[in-house]
Structure 1
């Protein structure tokens, strides 16, 4: 115990952190990224034994994360009660001609600034954000996308984070051990998948088709997980009143392999162990504990593997326009690679010789990655009179024409491209599209149409939306989604057959972001029972957490 206390004191001193006065109003939010309510119920007994036991004295609820079903949309709703400007994970701000990819620090910061213009009070004011997209007004941000570049003393901050591991021999050993395990496991799984998929005539990802993936898996499921947990434990020790930590590992591997593959379920085992540590420490410090997910994920098949062409190739033929596509393979990967490269370069000289040897190899790989990618990064060419821009995010795509900086409507699109809409909806990989038509929105498929007005809904032809969801809230969710700022001129939802959805990203065998199945199905665990079956999206959760600030606000206004 003395060693632990001593280590904790040293760490606080090194990081220049002080204990905060204890408060009766404290919470910690622990997020398991992409784990649906259904899969949690199905696998908790075998793969999450601690959580399974914890639920015997706590309440588990399902809630709808809304449309689009992605982390950024959900977290913005929880943190600020606002998500009006997040129509996808990747999209275009036509007015400012800005490409947005929320895997990039600059983009996350840009969107958070827009949100702060509407609501300056995030639920983490006075608290800490760990591994999130947005800060929620937190005083301290660790691996939080919107703060990666703008945080003062950025290079020193990352060096400080590595101290969390290096000052604890057990943590250092765990990181090295799990890094090796994750890397070797990925190589073995990839190799095995080649043989089994060829025999069973199934689609699969070739090993090293995406060479960054084994490294991403290693970083997220070893280094990042350890730093995140240790940081959260440190913040609990300091009595930080509001903490939000997100674990990304399950989501990452599910995209690459599918949500119920063994490698994904094994990640849940490790996360269960991390959750146990946090819950036990938080209980001892009398925190209110909330454990949740941000959306679900379902099996998918990539558009490219099924039809031997990408979505942008298909749209190029359908429109005869120059077409640009924006995905993970573009600038967002460059951004993160360059960021980690610069930070590792900074701490390199302070490392021991063995760690220098390991770090040097990673530095060279990252340098090669972002330098190569910079040359390929597509840009929006506004000088061209006619260009189509395709922003793909898993099973959802936002399509923009560069004719105007305003959102194009149905009659304008039909006038310029009379046969485009029938061509799109008749493609077997496309489920439906959404287009604005004056004050209305039209949801169009190859078998019918739904016209959504501000006050009513009209069905023409088959009720095709029933196969995506029978939830009574669906029409309201579509109306809200189609009204979001920065939405595309044409919004494309991948086809869903009741089991799998079509993904527009070339390597996704697990998807979310669109409609269909459990993509929008998230879970929420709390001590008190909170009914959430009525909510449209995660904005409703903001009210649960902002009440922790109300007493403080009331006192300050006296």
Structure 2
């Protein structure tokens, strides 16, 4: 009883403190801003003015607590990210209503000034509340305990003793990058560094040839990524390009995977999918691309946004951080230009907004959804944090711009570990990535022409004088478009022109007017200079074509060939620089029904780890070469090793799926002893 009264007293004191700060802020703004006053037309005493400020702050706070959730519900048809950007204007409207309730017209403010006043008040009240509770470890832990206690009481005696599992994907963070970020006296990721020191097992794994989120996550969540040759590819039977991170593309890929495996996915048993491309069979989904195209009241893909923004403190804090990230990106881009850093790509247009969406909005919403899942005691959660991947595409995988992102990811990991300690069941937290990133100048920047123009030249077609840059295919881009309800781009192609698509440093060339997969012999008859032009270009490492006489053939410079069906090699092996698993990866892709007529992998320098992306990325992934093909698994020591010590390395996303399923079986058979996840007060 004493503890309950102490808790109630602490809550009352925090409310009074926030009210006092808000009142003081209102007084200061009334003095500073010319279009805002808290006095009657004839003037008032300082005491009367202060009382008016107290009443105004109280009315504004009360409206925020009572009306804000209703506003969010009323804006269910508004795109979610637009709602995030409208936070300030909605707050301004509430302030106008609050001031209108003051007696004798003492609260007068211009509408444009109301937006400023409301934003400052919300920011100060949110900061005060955070200082008193959220940012205070003990207060925050008590809050989690209370929430977890309420949920545990709902569950009663049926709360499971077996451990739950959280799979947290750090998009684009390669094995070597994570290793380096967790070593040294002052690691970039101190929480993860402590986990490694405490015995967590760091294991690399090798992606398939298509080293990108669509292929990796489909394989991890659904157990297969068969017939997914790249980030985007052309399907001749329909005449359309399928893109793995668009709502319609993701939904189709998930449908095909479920049909192939006959199983709904990794998360089918009381699972939750947060911020992913695919559901994994989960009933609880938020910010999942494969269901983002659904409409109506049952559309749960956007539920996470509205659940998060229904708290005005969350909305204000995220909106302020969003604006701060816009300024950070502008400053970092300007610094790069002034220092003439190379390589460098354009970072204007909508990119600053997309970066802020990935590093702030999506991060905050996904983390909040995971905390709810942990406190609800869900059996399995799989979530993706895309912040690093988006920034590294445009700044480079190891550029200093990414350091702040890695630190923020580490703080998110620490927060989730704290929440897990107060969940109604023990949790095992597994960190993993879907791919890494490889650095290097873009193909266009290095050689002055795009892959599409090189293909046109090899076909004897005219090449435009002005090169059109290839748009970046970063994963976060389509997530933002889906949240904004922007229509998907249509990829129209004429049947008389070759279709050239890019997936990082992997290129795909298809000929729509030639049915089926075009053989090497047919290509040589129709365009005798094409294959030689491509294979001998210094920016291209190898080509994959299908020969009527020899089957799958890899072509390299100076007439080099690797016949994959027989193992015959002519000249220097074109696949040698890409490692011992390259032949198996390319051979597997050759068997896909929708493999392109010509698959093109850029050159790779083993000494520097550099590749050349065929799109506008200086940190890229999608093909073979360097760190992009080496993601990681970081798991508690209580879980079995991903592979035995004497076994070959883990290869392919489908194999990772089987490892994760094995760990889930181990958790279901466990006696409830939690795996140690060290969290210290410094985390």
Range into which the TM-score falls when normalised by the shorter chain? 0.7 to 0.9
Match of 2:627 among 482, 494, 518: 518
Identify if the C-alpha distance between structure 1 residues 112 and 322 changes in structure 2 by more than 3 Å, giving closer, same or farther.
Answer: farther
Q: C-alpha separation between the residues in 1 aligned to 2:309 and 2:652?
A: 37
Residue in 2 that maps onto 1:360: none
Question: Where does 1:25-44 land on structure 2 (aligned, <5 Å)?
Answer: 26-44=164-182
Identify if the C-alpha distance between structure 1 residues 448 and 31 changes in structure 2 by more than 3 Å, giving closer, same or farther.
Answer: farther
Residue in 2 that maps onto 1:101: 243
Aligned partners of 1:321 and 1:388 also within 8 Å? no
1:301 aligns with 2:441: yes
Deviation at 1:387, TM superposition (A): 1.8
TM-score, reference length from structure 2: 0.68
Residue in 1 that maps onto 2:219: 77
Give CA-to-partner distance per residue, 1:264-291, whole Å, 9 cap, x none: 1210000000011112333543122211
Q: C-alpha separation between the residues in 1 aligned to 2:359 and 2:264?
A: 32
Deviation at 1:259, TM superposition (A): 0.2
Residue in 2 that maps onto 1:193: 336
Match of 1:163 among 307, 311, 318: 307
Deviation at 1:403, TM superposition (A): 2.2
> Comparing 91-100 with 50-59, which one deviates more in the overlay?
91-100
Residue in 1 that maps onto 2:531: 421
Deviation at 1:501, TM superposition (A): 0.6
Q: C-alpha separation between the residues in 1 aligned to 2:474 and 2:440?
A: 24
Deviation at 1:231, TM superposition (A): 0.1
Deviation at 1:395, TM superposition (A): 0.6
Deviation at 1:464, TM superposition (A): 3.6
> Comparing 395-404 with 160-169, which one deviates more in the overlay?
160-169
Give CA-to-partner distance per residue, 1:28-50, whole Å, 9 cap, x none: 10111111111111122421000
Identify if the C-alpha distance between structure 1 residues 49 and 6 changes in structure 2 by more than 3 Å, giving closer, same or farther.
Answer: closer
Question: Where does 1:390-401 land on structure 2 (aligned, <5 Å)?
Answer: 390-401=500-511
Residue in 2 that maps onto 1:497: 605
Give CA-to-partner distance per residue, 1:433-488, whole Å, 9 cap, x none: 1112247211111145343444x41211113422222x3x3321221122223110
Q: C-alpha separation between the residues in 2 aligned to 1:537 and 1:129?
A: 21
Identify if the C-alpha distance between structure 1 residues 18 and 480 changes in structure 2 by more than 3 Å, giving closer, same or farther.
Answer: farther
Residue in 2 that maps onto 1:316: 456
Residue in 1 that maps onto 2:517: 407
Aligned partners of 1:128 and 1:240 also within 8 Å? yes
1:179 aligns with 2:322: yes
Aligned partners of 2:204 and 2:650 also within 8 Å? no
Deviation at 1:263, TM superposition (A): 1.0
Q: C-alpha separation between the residues in 1 aligned to 2:391 and 2:441?
A: 15
Gaps in structure 1 of 5+ consecutive residues: 343-365
TM-score, reference length from structure 1: 0.83
1:132 aligns with 2:268: no
Give CA-to-partner distance per residue, 1:487-513, whole Å, 9 cap, x none: 1000011111232111110x2111111
Aligned partners of 1:90 and 1:327 also within 8 Å? no
Residue in 2 that maps onto 1:289: 429
Identify if the C-alpha distance between structure 1 residues 421 and 545 changes in structure 2 by more than 3 Å, giving closer, same or farther.
Answer: same
Q: C-alpha separation between the residues in 2 aligned to 1:159 and 1:320?
A: 52
Residue in 1 that maps onto 2:364: 226
- SS of 1:133's partner is coil
Question: Where does 1:271-282 land on structure 2 (aligned, <5 Å)?
Answer: 271-282=409-420
RMSD: 3.2
Deviation at 1:213, TM superposition (A): 0.6
1:117 aligns with 2:259: yes
Residue in 2 that maps onto 1:261: 399
Aligned partners of 1:326 and 1:391 also within 8 Å? no
Q: C-alpha separation between the residues in 2 aligned to 1:550 and 1:49?
A: 30
Identify if the C-alpha distance between structure 1 residues 294 and 188 changes in structure 2 by more than 3 Å, giving closer, same or farther.
Answer: same
Q: C-alpha separation between the residues in 1 aligned to 2:668 and 2:461?
A: 55
Identify if the C-alpha distance between structure 1 residues 407 and 190 changes in structure 2 by more than 3 Å, giving closer, same or farther.
Answer: same
Give the strand-richer structure, 1 or 2.
1
Identify if the C-alpha distance between structure 1 residues 237 and 553 changes in structure 2 by more than 3 Å, giving closer, same or farther.
Answer: closer
Identify if the C-alpha distance between structure 1 residues 434 and 407 changes in structure 2 by more than 3 Å, giving closer, same or farther.
Answer: same
Aligned partners of 1:87 and 1:485 also within 8 Å? no
Aligned partners of 2:538 and 2:603 also within 8 Å? yes
Q: C-alpha separation between the residues in 2 aligned to 1:338 and 1:206?
A: 20
Identify if the C-alpha distance between structure 1 residues 111 and 405 changes in structure 2 by more than 3 Å, giving closer, same or farther.
Answer: farther
Deviation at 1:334, TM superposition (A): 9.4
Gaps in structure 2 of 5+ consecutive residues: 1-6, 12-142, 670-683
Identify if the C-alpha distance between structure 1 residues 267 and 427 changes in structure 2 by more than 3 Å, giving closer, same or farther.
Answer: same
Q: C-alpha separation between the residues in 2 aligned to 1:340 and 1:18?
A: 34
Q: C-alpha separation between the residues in 1 aligned to 2:666 and 2:335?
A: 57
Aligned partners of 1:162 and 1:227 also within 8 Å? no
1:446 aligns with 2:557: yes
Q: C-alpha separation between the residues in 2 aligned to 1:475 and 1:332?
A: 27
User: Which of structures 1 and 2 has the bigger CA Rg?
Assistant: 2
Identify if the C-alpha distance between structure 1 residues 326 and 131 changes in structure 2 by more than 3 Å, giving closer, same or farther.
Answer: farther
Identify if the C-alpha distance between structure 1 residues 240 and 43 changes in structure 2 by more than 3 Å, giving closer, same or farther.
Answer: same
Identify if the C-alpha distance between structure 1 residues 309 and 256 changes in structure 2 by more than 3 Å, giving closer, same or farther.
Answer: same
Deviation at 1:539, TM superposition (A): 0.9
Which structure has more relative contact order (CA 8 Å, sep 6+)? It is 1
Residue in 2 that maps onto 1:355: none
Q: C-alpha separation between the residues in 2 aligned to 1:433 and 1:340?
A: 37
Residue in 1 that maps onto 2:649: 534
Q: C-alpha separation between the residues in 2 aligned to 1:55 and 1:334?
A: 32
Give CA-to-partner distance per residue, 1:325-374, whole Å, 9 cap, x none: 996469999965653334xxxxxxxxxxxxxxxxxxxxxxx7xxx7xx96
